[in-house]
Amino acid sequence: MKSADWETSHNMTQHDIALLLADAADEVKIGIAPAQALIRGGRRRKARRWAVVATTTLVVAGSTGALALTGLSGDGDRGVSPASRPVASAEASEPHMRTTLASGTDAGVPWRVYIDVWKAPADTVEAQATLAAMAKFGEHPEDVSTASELVGKVAHFVHRVTGKEARTTQIADMALPEDDVLSGGEYGTVSLPLLPGNDTAPRLVTGQVAKTAREVTCTWKDGTSTKVGRASAATEANAAVPVIHSPKHSPYDWFVCLAPKSTAFEGIKVTK
């Protein structure tokens, strides 16, 4: 089955490929699969789940780019097989391009979500150096097999850290053209459990919005909601208050919100 975009484009994009694969594996589910939403051009498209080699991958598109979000299987293991992912160096210091999107404590359990954004390399030589630098942190774009495929693309890696032992899991992997944008009320979201292994409700929401967005409202299944706005003096003093972030080099702005313990994610809307 071909996507609608296929019929109007002369070139097959990552978005086209992803939707085709999603159609083919729409009924395949592994454990507790994350849920995704795609709002583009004011229309909501059907959320799809598909799995390849125990990996749940989601596609969230903006205006022209595509976001491949690698979720978790039911046991909470990393989405990408160990054989295909580099091992982080113990000596690697925290990268300068890392941004904490949200942090807090839930029922006594500390948690944090951060994103690493790698600047788009201008040529193959720069791309090779960037891939080598990523490898020190155990990161590699899943849809990039050669250095040339990374040229002109910004790579994003979202990680979730939970517990006193700081268990870290990569939950999102994305590489897209540096000139890609979201506009107006367009957004992408993925929701999944906060804790790996023993949590089931999709309470943790990671999303992307246009750089012009000033407020996002996350709604929960119990009818309550959480507003996420831009950083201010008040929010800077309280790390537990969710805000919209603008990671350097990313063409999208990012946010994270967490549903109360007794409920789960319902939806989001750009409200300002």
Q: pLDDT in tens for each of the 272 residues of the chain?
A: 433 332 333 344 455 444 444 443 333 333 344 554 545 444 443 332 222 222 233 333 333 333 434 433 333 333 344 445 555 544 445 667 899 999 999 989 999 999 999 999 999 999 999 999 999 998 998 889 999 999 999 999 999 999 988 988 888 888 889 998 888 898 888 888 988 776 678 899 999 999 999 999 999 999 999 999 998 766 665 667 889 999 999 999 999 999 998 899 999 899 99
How far apart are the C-alpha atoms of 112 and 144, rounded to whole Å? Answer: 27
- Cβ neighbours of 47 (radius 10 Å): 18
Question: Full-prediction pTM beyond 0.75?
Answer: no
Residue 249: name the closest of 95, 96, 120 by CA: 120
pLDDT for 143: 85
Burial of 244 (0-12, 13-18, 19+ CB in 10 A): buried
Count structural domains, the chain.
1
Report which of 120, 95, 96, 240 is spatially closest to residue 177, judged by C-alpha positions.
Answer: 120
Q: What are phi and psi of 20, to 5 degrees?
A: -65, -45
Q: Are 113 and 256 in contact (CB under 8 A)?
A: yes
Identify the three-state secondary structure at position 57: strand
CA 206 to chain centroid: 6
Distance, in Å, from the CA atom of 48 to the CA atom of 163, rounded to the nearest integer, reads 30
Give the residue numbers spanning the domain of 62: 4-270
Q: What is the DSSP string of 88-156?
A: PPTTPPPPTTEEEEEEEEETTEEEEEEEEEEPPPSSHHHHHHHHHHHHTTT---TT--SGGGGTTEEEE
Residues 6+ apart with CB under 8 A from 79: 54, 55, 56, 57, 70, 71, 72, 73, 170, 171, 173
DSSP β-bridge partners for residue 155 = 118, 175
Task: Measure the N-to-C terminal CA separation of the chain; round to a whole number of Å.
Answer: 37
